[in-house]
Amino acid sequence: MNIKLSSRCIAFSFFLPLLANMVTVSPACASLVLDQNRVIFPASKTRVAIVKVDNPTNSDYLMQSWVEDKNGKPQEAIFVEPPLAKIKANHKVALRLTAINQDLEKKNEEQLYWLNVKEIPKLDSASGNPRLAIVMRTRIKVLYRPQTVKANMEKAYTRLEWKRTASGITVHNPTPYYITFNKVWAGSDESRSFDVDMIAPHADLIIKSGAAASARQIHFNIINDFGDTSETVTATVI
């Protein structure tokens, strides 16, 4: 399952004095594991989405969860519970996302949010040794699909339009979905891919690259609703 474009692990550090004697709690990435790398939230089926968080380690964690808007700012349209919980070693906790703003259902395109799960390791204060705790945050996309948007994206990404412009290649998304690219390249060398992330509904995206400017065909695949890589699509640049 490809998670390159759909989740991030971010570290926050809390320092205590006497760093020379400190102990570091620092996994390479988040210890808590979410059961999906994106949340597809179709209003036509339910107003609630469930994300399961697994703690496969032998340590207890305090887990904090919240949802931000597409710009990473506080929002009041989607609520997550529990916002704070203890997740014991080798246990799971289910997060419940609820759409509490009924105006969301009336939108004409998919809405993007971010689910944040922050883990705080339990430190043994009885040892008396100063410690450094590295707090990890996992961030995944929440894609809310209103009543007017078909619940399954299916092959909508094949409708992307590719045009050559003075700046490079402009990609137009005529669909109501956010489309996350896995890889975009021109010619036969797939390893020389362009740095392209995601395109919003009914929006344009410019690929600025010398190779893109001269390309007659573009090859691409995306991250689908299930978090997997789609089949490769070949599109003509007009």
Q: Whole-prediction pTM value?
A: 0.85
Cα–Cα distances in angstroms (integers) from residue 51 to residues 67, 78, 98, 105, 205, in the given order = 13, 14, 11, 21, 31
Query: What does the pLDDT look like over 56-94, one tens digit per residue?
Result: 999 999 999 999 999 999 999 999 999 999 999 999 999
- The region of weakest confidence among 38-47, 130-139, 157-166, 221-230 is 130-139
Count of C-beta atoms within a 10 Å radius of residue 129: 13
Alpha-carbon torsion, ordered 196, 3, 51, 76, to 10 deg: -20
Strands 33-34 and 48-55: antiparallel
For residue range 122-151, what is the model confidence (pLDDT) as tens digits? 876 665 666 667 789 999 999 999 999 999
* Beta-bridge mates of residue 221: 183
Q: Map tokens 């107003």 to a residue.
A: 47
For residue 210, the 8-state DSSP code is: H
**How confident is the model at residue 76, as a pLDDT?**
95
Give the length of the chain. Answer: 238
Please state, in angstroms and as integers, the Cα–Cα distance from residue 22 to each residue in 85, 122, 123, 181, 219, following that order. 27, 15, 12, 42, 50
User: Measuring CA to CA, which residue among 94, 9, 106, 23 is closest to residue 52?
Assistant: 94
Whole-Å CA distances, 44 to 24, 41, 108, 152, 165: 47, 9, 13, 10, 39
On whether the CB atoms of residues 75 and 69 are closer than 8 A, the answer is: yes
Percent of the chain, pLDDT > 70?
84
Domains assigned to the chain: 7-145 (2.60.40.10), 156-236 (2.60.40.10)
Helix intervals (H) in the chain: 210-213
